[in-house]
């Protein structure tokens, strides 16, 4: 059995990653980290009641991380894969950005990854195996206007990933980042038809990506065959960058 913890477990991308593991690996046990909203996550648990569970997780809280990891270890006896997927936007120009718009985005997108990685490192080192996949963003390397907070946080995730990969490589733990571009999830639901057309026109593939296409990359980085891949920052953007 492989034990996988995915944060942002009620969102389109988190659910897509969880479903991919459950469908592709009969040995996978998926834990969906959720906070307030959990309807969609509960539906996935209903489909795979023996191999999918929810765990209460506020990703910006050290105590919540420690409790969630302790729950997984108590039930499964190990934690093999952490997917740091939770995140948020509060876009706006820096000149008029409120303090909370900066601090909340940094906390949810960068501090949460730090707390999650730190919470799982010790048990992973003890079992001499671990896979950490941090979901960053194409904004980390190609930031658009109005995302100083989000782009800074995601660039920090990439740097954290590359540094941590060096620190834990000898313990059998790999740490990698994914940089998705436009992915068809609720994050794009606010776009009107014209805005979507303009966005697709800037993508060489002329379409948005799917959660499954991101999930397949997570699945590869989490598998045994990817044991020599660490510290990478893999773009999934249809050729934008």
pLDDT in tens, 48-89: 999 999 999 999 999 999 999 999 999 999 999 999 999 999
Q: What b-and-e string marks burial along 9-21, b requiring 16 or more CB atoms within 10 Å of the CB?
A: bbbbbbbbbbbbb
Is 209 a residue whose pLDDT tops 90?
A: no
C-alpha–C-alpha distance, residues 134 and 34, integer Å: 17
Is 32 buried (19+), middle (13-18) or exposed (0-12) by CB count in 10 A? buried
Catalytic residue among 20, 150, 182, 228: 150
pLDDT in tens, 80-100: 999 999 999 999 999 999 999
Q: What is the pLDDT of residue 182?
A: 85
182 carries an active-site annotation? no
Tell me the average pLDDT of the chain.
94
Q: Which comes out higher in pLDDT, residue 36 or 154?
A: 154
Residue 132 confidence (pLDDT) above 90: yes
Domain boundaries defined on the chain: 2-236
What's the pLDDT band for 46 if we cut at 50, 70, 90?
Answer: very high
Give the pLDDT of residue 205. 86
CATH code of the region 2-236: 3.40.50.720
Q: How confident is the model at residue 185 (pLDDT cuts 50, 70, 90)?
A: confident
Kindly indicate the confidence band of residue 225, based on its pLDDT and cuts at 50, 70 and 90. very high
Higher pLDDT residue, 6 or 193?
A: 6
Report the greatest alpha carbon distance in the chain. 52
Annotate 107-118 with b (16+ C-beta within 10 A) or e (fewer): bbbbbbbbbbbe
Cα separation, 112 vs 65, in Å, equals: 9
pLDDT of residue 13: 94
pLDDT, position 194: 81
pLDDT band per the 50, 70, 90 thresholds, residue 137: very high
Instruction: Answer with the residue of higher pLDDT: 171 or 191.
Output: 171
Confidence of residue 213 (pLDDT cuts 50, 70, 90): very high
């Amino acid at each position: 059995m492989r034990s996988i913890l995915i944060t942002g477990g009620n969102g389109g991308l988190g659910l897509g990653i969880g479903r991919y593991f459950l469908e592709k690996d009969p040995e996978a046990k998926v834990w969906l980290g959720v906070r307030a909203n959990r309807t969609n996550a509960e539906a996935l648990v209903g489909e795979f009641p023996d191999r999918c569970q929810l765990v209460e997780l506020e990703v910006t809280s050290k105590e919540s991380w420690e409790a969630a990891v302790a729950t997984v270890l108590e039930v499964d006896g190990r934690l093999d894969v952490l997917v740091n997927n939770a995140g948020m936007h509060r876009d706006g120009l820096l000149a008029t950005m409120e303090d909370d718009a900066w601090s909340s985005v940094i906390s949810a997108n960068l501090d949460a990854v730090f707390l999650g990685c730190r919470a799982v490192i010790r048990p992973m080192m003890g079992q001499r195996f671990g896979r950490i996949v941090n979901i960053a963003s194409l904004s980390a390397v190609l930031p658009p206007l109005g995302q100083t907070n989000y782009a800074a946080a995601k660039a920090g995730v990439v740097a954290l990933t590359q540094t941590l990969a060096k620190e834990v490589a000898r313990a059998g733990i790999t740490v990698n980042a994914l940089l998705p571009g436009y992915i068809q999830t609720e994050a794009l639901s606010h776009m009107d038809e014209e805005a979507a057309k303009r966005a697709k026109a800037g993508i060489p593939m002329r379409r948005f990506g799917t959660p499954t296409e991101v999930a397949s990359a997570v699945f590869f980085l989490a598998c045994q065959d990817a044991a020599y891949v660490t510290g990478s920052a893999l773009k999934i953007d249809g050729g934008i960058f």
